[in-house]
Structure 1
Amino acid sequence: MKTILIALAVAIAGILLFATTRPDTFRVERTITIQAPPEKIIPFLEDFHQWPAWSPYEKLDPAMKRTLSGAERGKGAVYQWDGNRKAGSGRMEVLDVVPSSKVSIQLEFTQPLESKNLAEFDLMNKGGATSVTWSMSGPQPYVTKVVTIFVSMDKLVGGDFETGLVNLKAAAEK
């Protein structure tokens, strides 16, 4: 029994030590090509009233409480939510909109874990079509480093980004 406990303690210590070698930041991104000009896509991104048409996170909790404030759209628009375990709670604020090319959003989660990240949508006009990259980046504190040994942020969020981009494509190409 003592040998098992020592082996377990060494394994846990090894995992905790290994976590210190993990990067201090993370970045997850996905890209899709949409058959529409950037001017048709930007309104879906800079206006939180339009997010139900494409965001996969809108479907996590049908009873989720949503509050929109600040600017109607674009810089200063704010979206707060409070939902179930899956949706969590937090706040988004549009930090900047570069016409036809970029929307930057400050993303703050308060539940289930606190974090502050940057979400960005980069649009590149490709002559009638637009390449849209949805990314999220931010700090990776020690607890997150430990968790990401077992579950990567890319696997945690990447599938949602893929779903959202497919939904965005369908909405923008109508």
Structure 2
Amino acid sequence: MKFLKYLLIFLAVIIVIIAILAFVAPTEVKVSRSITIDAPRETVWEYVNSLEDMHQWSPWAEKDPDMKLEYRGTEGKVGSVYSWDGDPETVGKGEQEITSIQAPSRIESELRFLTPYESKADAYVQLDETGSGSTRVTYGFESVSPRPMNVLNLFMNMDEMVGPDFEAAMSNLKKLVESGGSSGETQSEMAFR
């Protein structure tokens, strides 16, 4: 009986600790990376204005070149959807839907991850003119973790986890645009030029 009493006290303490952490832990998660591309904004826009174009500089496409892809809707328009189904340890399964287009400066989408775990995030690509004929590109996402799941944000640094992938995406985009690769040209086709 004494053991049960101590067990209940222990569980109550754990619940109180989790409740306190849930109120101090951040609920918002934001990750973004930027790069300057030596090309006018309108040129860069041709490489980011649709989900098919984005796939060409995606580092996740490189991680799992055998993933199954499907495009639905009118490409480059609000409501178009790109879905993928790949290796659960590298890219998982999910879809991305364009939610807003502000040509030639911003495209927004909703990411819906289905596996290895379910979650949603709002992604964007922002293009800003630098005044020197170059374009500053920012690629990122924002997500909200509901309480008490937000406690995990204290132990997992999403910026460290996915930041390198966003850096790779920006590097891939820069190479694609500055090499003059056409939007519609795959990364492997670029490699053989």
Q: Per the shorter chain, which TM-score range?
A: 0.7 to 0.9
> Aligned partners of 2:57 and 2:80: how far apart in 1?
18
Q: Which has the larger radius of gyration?
A: 2
Q: 1:87 to 1:143 in 2, by over 3 A?
A: farther
Match of 1:83 in 2: 86
Larger mean CA deviation between 42-51 and 126-135 belongs to 42-51
Find 2:37's aligned residue among 34, 37, 43.
34
Q: Does 1:126 align with 2:130?
A: yes
Q: Which amino acid aligns with 2:130?
A: K
TM-score (norm 2): 0.78
Unaligned runs of 5+ in 2: 180-193
Q: 1:70 to 1:20 in 2, by over 3 A?
A: same
Match of 2:114 in 1: 110
Q: Which amino acid aligns with 1:79?
A: Y
Larger mean CA deviation between 137-146 and 9-18 belongs to 9-18
> Aligned partners of 1:109 and 1:70: how far apart in 2?
19
Q: Contact between 1:35 and 1:129, CA under 8 Å: does it hold in 2? A: yes
Tell me how far 1:53 sits from its aligned partner: 2.6
Q: Which amino acid aligns with 2:96?
A: M
Tell me how far 1:111 sits from its aligned partner: 0.9
| Alignment coverage as a number of residue pairs | 170
TM-score (norm 1): 0.86
Q: Residue 136 of structure 1 aligns to a residue in which SS?
A: strand
Tell me how far 1:58 sits from its aligned partner: 0.8
Find 2:58's aligned residue among 43, 55, 59.
55
Match of 1:73 in 2: 76
Unaligned runs of 5+ in 1: none
- 1:60-94 Cα offsets, whole Å, 9 max, x none, are 22221110110122322210011111111111111
Which structure carries more strand by proportion?
A: 1
